[in-house]
Amino acid sequence: MRIGIDMVGIDRMAIILNKEPIMKRLFTIYELEIINKAPQIKKSRIAAEIFASKEAVVKAFGTGFDLEMRPNCIEIRLSRNEENYVRFLGSAKKTVEMLGIKMVRLSTDSTCKMAVACVIVE
């Protein structure tokens, strides 16, 4: 079992929300749709929770972001009513298989200033 934790400043995420090339490198199409559909007041918080989750995932894996484990190859599906879900796409999926990861658990939370994510992998 491994654990990864990360925090992202919501104000920091607000700065990049309007920078489309950066957003496309950090988020999947699904995540961009969720962020863009959110009320303006929630966009930065949602983006920060998603990105903190991605950082926590790569910390738990011990890989960091690299050519195989890119931010836009890790898809975070946040849910307030159900369990959060992490989906791996493309080369990240191969890395997960190579590492023998069978389970990824994700918990997130946020305040008005910070988003935090904790990931447990087995």
Nearest CA among 64, 72, 88, 79 for reference residue 21:
72
Given a contact cutoff of 8 angstroms between Cβ atoms, the answer to whether 86 and 106 are in contact is: yes
Count of the separate structural domains present in the chain: 1
Given a contact cutoff of 8 angstroms between Cβ atoms, the answer to whether 118 and 4 are in contact is: yes
The CATH number linked to 111 is 3.90.470.20
pLDDT in tens, the chain (122 residues): 999 999 999 999 999 999 999 999 999 999 999 999 999 999 999 999 999 999 999 999 998 998 889 999 999 999 877 789 999 999 999 989 988 999 999 999 999 999 999 999 99
Tell me, yes or no, if the pTM score tops 0.85.
yes
Distances (CA, A) of 26 to 60, 64, 69, 96, 103: 18, 14, 11, 19, 23
Q: Which domain holds residue 57?
A: 2-121
Integer Cα distance of 38 and 69 in angstroms: 27
